[in-house]
A and B are shown apart, each in its own frame.
Chain A
Amino acid sequence: MPATNSADGTALVAGLTESQLHELYYALVRVRAAEERLELLHKQGHIGGGVYRSLGQEAGSVGAAYALDRRSDGTGDIIAQTVRACGALFLMGGEPLDFFRQYLARATGPTGGKEANVHWVDYRRGLVGPVSPLGTMVGVMAGITLSFRLKQEPRVGLVFAGDGATSTGAWHEGLNFAAVQRCPMVLMVEANQWAFSTPTRKNTRLESFTQKAAGYGLHAESVDGTDVLDVYEGTKRAVDRARAGEGAGMVEMRYYRLKGHAQHDNQEYVDPAELKAWEERDPIKRFGERLLSEGWATQKTLGALKARAEVEVSIAAEQAVGEPIPDGVQALDAVYTDRGAKTPWTRLETPDPIQA
């Protein structure tokens, strides 16, 4: 099903055509360009809240989302993204423009400045608006995909969650629910080896998170998260199983968080040699080299894709910067379906507590 999004041609690898491989490369360089731009905007003082990168993890989010049936009419597959799954967010159709608007808290953004970063919803494109408490989205996705099963829709949901999030109760309860209810859900474990400053060994005794899947009777596999094709194939197998009614699954993406937890974290606690070794496995560099060495792309093509991504990102960033911030009173809107919060009585033209 996923291959339908691209031009025809013969499959070169993993069932993907040349133009699909180029599309993947484009998705990778675009997320990197967007985050680099974000970092710059942060340094220039445009951003009030936290700024997160997915450096080194781009192949995970891009490869995973590429295995989905991506549509924009609300009938396709669905994801719950994280800040490290920005590549998936864009592939599903989330716009870089909205990404910048969210971080810049623009009135024009999908949450009108009420929420930050990748926390936004677009059910038509298959995006669920995540929350910060870790693990919470697993249960939510279990329910979304339960509804797919109950309504007999051939749809699948991917929920991304970090390796640290696997320690939360919500993660376990949600996953077990999905397993028991045979929900067409795939849990993508973002095993980047850190949870903020805490190394994986302090979050689990296990060698692999796939062992947790076994505890719930789930199918699971581990993929090389720096290899976009490996992620794509592994996710596709899990997604195909889920779509075929074989129940929930898990894919563990093994890679490394190459930046600090967020901009404010200089990751002093990371062993520089280990970091260096993982930097060598930069997913974009790896995929680019593969494309070249197999003759699936020329240097010129890759350069052009990167340039196109940079232009797209740049236009989006500049547009967002120029857009307005919300009006304070909009803070009152949409607390309930049928009413908002009340204007504080002290701010009425004639202050009157009876109006409170």
Chain B
Amino acid sequence: MGGKPDSVTKTERREPVTLLEAISEGLFEEMERDERVFLMGEDIGVYGGAFKVTRGFLDHFGEERVIDTPISEGGFTGAAAGAAHMGLRPVVEMQFMDFISPAYDVITNYIATSLYRGSGPLPLVIRGPVGGGNRGGPFHSQNVEMAFFHTPGLKIVYPSTAYDAKGLVKAAIRDDNPVIIEEHKGLYRAPFLREVLPEDDYIVPLGKANVVREGSGLTVVTYGMMVHRSVEAAEVLHQEDGFEVEVLDLRTLSPLDDEAIVESVKKTGRLLVVHEDTRTGGIAGEIAMRVSEKAFEWLDAPMLRVTAIDAPVPYAGALEDYFLPQIEDIVTAARYLAAY
């Protein structure tokens, strides 16, 4: 077997890693730590995956643990469930999360219900690239969280930094429940996310949000790419308005960290949810309802949201930029709330 691929030894060498490399390291370390962990997906072996997350894995772990599948998302996700029943811990890659759709049946009807039906826990991970901004058009840009958020029994993770990505991947693989990990393509190689990670075997626990910027005037609850847009907006508001925004990165969408959300809202009295996903049926609705249930008395203003428009993701740059939430939208919404 080949040695360790360079792309997973940067932390060992104390070099900064991108979010993508952090995911690679997380997968790699879990495979080394636990031989029950194995990978399936399209073009993940020889090619190392469409985005090269598993580059070099085939040489190191061999064909039995890095399986190039036919183009059969439903079939191989079903196979992951079966393997998990027999004690293995499969991690499957969707080449683009847009193509998780053929596996919707097995994920929602079979995998998510397994424990409840008495068929036992299903420790498996389904991961892949999501998100817009890459001129990928309607089928290479979607965010799929809400197609699964509604289904009890599934966990959903959506990292925004290299540190979190690695720790969440490792936690997801060790979790005994089925976990979907959404990886934003626009963050994969974003230079500003490069960081030197700790050398120890850390995890980031599922279900725990993270305050990435403290503030007293407004809580912005967000995740993924929008964490960074929200932080930039918060900086603008700080500079131009002297208005301090707290930015809470959910990191895990299911289960939602109600406690962290409520705690922050109680502090600021104002809530803005920002997500890249489309508006109707987006997670903002659920978050607002929970805050209404748990912290209504603390609110000083209506709860609002900034999201993508309710449309498929368009291809043209100008259309896609219009479709996606921008920093200015967050600033405008925050100013509206500040003045309320």
Q: Taking the nearest CB of chain A, how far is it from the CB of B78, in angstroms?
A: 10
B70–A204 contact, CB under 8 A? yes
A133–B42 contact, CB under 8 A? no
Partner of B43, one of A48, A196, A343, A356: A196
B322–A132 contact, CB under 8 A? no
Partner of A351, one of B95, B102, B319, B332: B332
B336–A131 contact, CB under 8 A? no
A332–B318 contact, CB under 8 A? no
Known: A197-B46, A341-B310. 5 other contacts (CB 8 A): A114-B315, A196-B95, A328-B319, A331-B320, A335-B312
Residues of A contacting B329 in the complex (Cβ-Cβ under 8 angstroms) = 344, 346-347
How big is chain A's contact interface, by range? 35 or more
Q: Say what secondary structure dominates the interface of chain A.
A: loop
Q: How many residues of B contact A (CB 8 A)?
A: 50
Stretch at the interface among B130-138, B143-151, B251-259: B130-138
A332–B315 contact, CB under 8 A? no
Residues of B contacting A197 in the complex (Cβ-Cβ under 8 angstroms) = 43, 46-47
Residues of B contacting A335 in the complex (Cβ-Cβ under 8 angstroms) = 310-312
- A interface residues, Cβ below 8 angstroms from B: 48-50, 105-107, 111-116, 119, 131-135, 164-165, 167-170, 195-198, 202-204, 269, 325-332, 335, 340-344, 346-347, 351, 353, 356
> Known interface pairs A132-B139, A344-B306. Does A202 touch B101 (Cβ–Cβ under 8 Å)?
no
Is B68 an interface residue, CB under 8 A from the partner?
yes
Residue of A nearest to B306 (CB): A346
Partner of B139, one of A48, A133, A204, A342: A133
Is B285 an interface residue, CB under 8 A from the partner?
no
Q: Taking the nearest CB of chain A, how far is it from the CB of B130, in angstroms?
A: 15
A113–B318 contact, CB under 8 A? yes
Q: Which chain B residues (280-309) contact chain A, with CB distance < 8 Å?
A: 302, 304, 306-307, 309
Is B115 an interface residue, CB under 8 A from the partner?
no
A133–B315 contact, CB under 8 A? no
Residue of A nearest to B50 (CB): A196
> Known interface pairs A196-B47, A331-B311. Does A170 touch B102 (Cβ–Cβ under 8 Å)?
yes
Residues of B contacting A111 in the complex (Cβ-Cβ under 8 angstroms) = 315
B71–A326 contact, CB under 8 A? no
Partner of B321, one of A50, A167, A328, A344: A328
Residues of A contacting B323 in the complex (Cβ-Cβ under 8 angstroms) = 331
B336–A167 contact, CB under 8 A? no
Residues of B contacting A113 in the complex (Cβ-Cβ under 8 angstroms) = 314-316, 318-319
Q: Taking the nearest CB of chain B, how far is it from the CB of A318, in angstroms?
A: 20
